[in-house]
Amino acid sequence: PLPTRNTYYTSFRFLDTVAWSPVNPNQLLFSNADIAVVADLKKQQLVLAIGVPNSKAAPVISGLSWSPNGRYIASSYTVLGDKKTYHLPDPHIYIWDTLALSKKVSSTSNNLDIQPPTMTFDQQGALRHNDTIVDVQWSPDGRYLATCSLDHKVLIWQVDAASH
């Protein structure tokens, strides 16, 4: 069973991202509307649920990827609907430290609590996205994130996850 979540999404069951852990061949990451879950296929159980709980500004995951060292997951969110019925997005990038968060999650519990991001950064200055970020990808060395957006821009962010 998926973790308890925003009742607005109880009818949604769609996966738009699926990715194997780069360091653990038994772990699979997948998104389902507003949350993402890490499953351990060998143990046949969900081991971590991540998301931005209770945020109307971040309702649906729009990009999701593992860092090359398998410790971090990066994502962004989008809003549902058309531009006439919602406010323009304020694109943020969210990062979860799976090592730190997995220490907080009980392996004996039947319910997974959705873990909030470990780090969040918004975009400042002139070089920024002005529309929904649709994909987030780590560089092979883990030092950078690339984001692409509906504003037709690709931006590179220095994050230095390789040193952690």
SS3 content of the chain, % helix, strand, coil (to 5): 10, 40, 50
Which pLDDT score is estimated for 10? 47
Instruction: Kindly provide the residue ranges of all beta strands, DSSP E only, lying in the chain, ordered along the sequence.
Output: 18-20, 27-32, 35-40, 45-51, 60-66, 72-78, 92-97, 114-115, 119-122, 133-138, 144-149, 154-158
Q: Under DSSP, is residue 102 helix (H, G, I), strand (E, B) or coil?
A: helix
Quote the DSSP letter at residue 139. -
pLDDT along the chain (164 residues), means of 10: 56 68 94 86 91 69 90 84 55 90 74 86 75 89 92 88 55
Which pLDDT score is estimated for 1? 58
What one-letter code names the amino acid at 27? Answer: Q
Helix (H), strand (E) at residue 108: none
Which pLDDT score is estimated for 162? 57
Query: What pTM did the predictor assign?
Result: 0.83
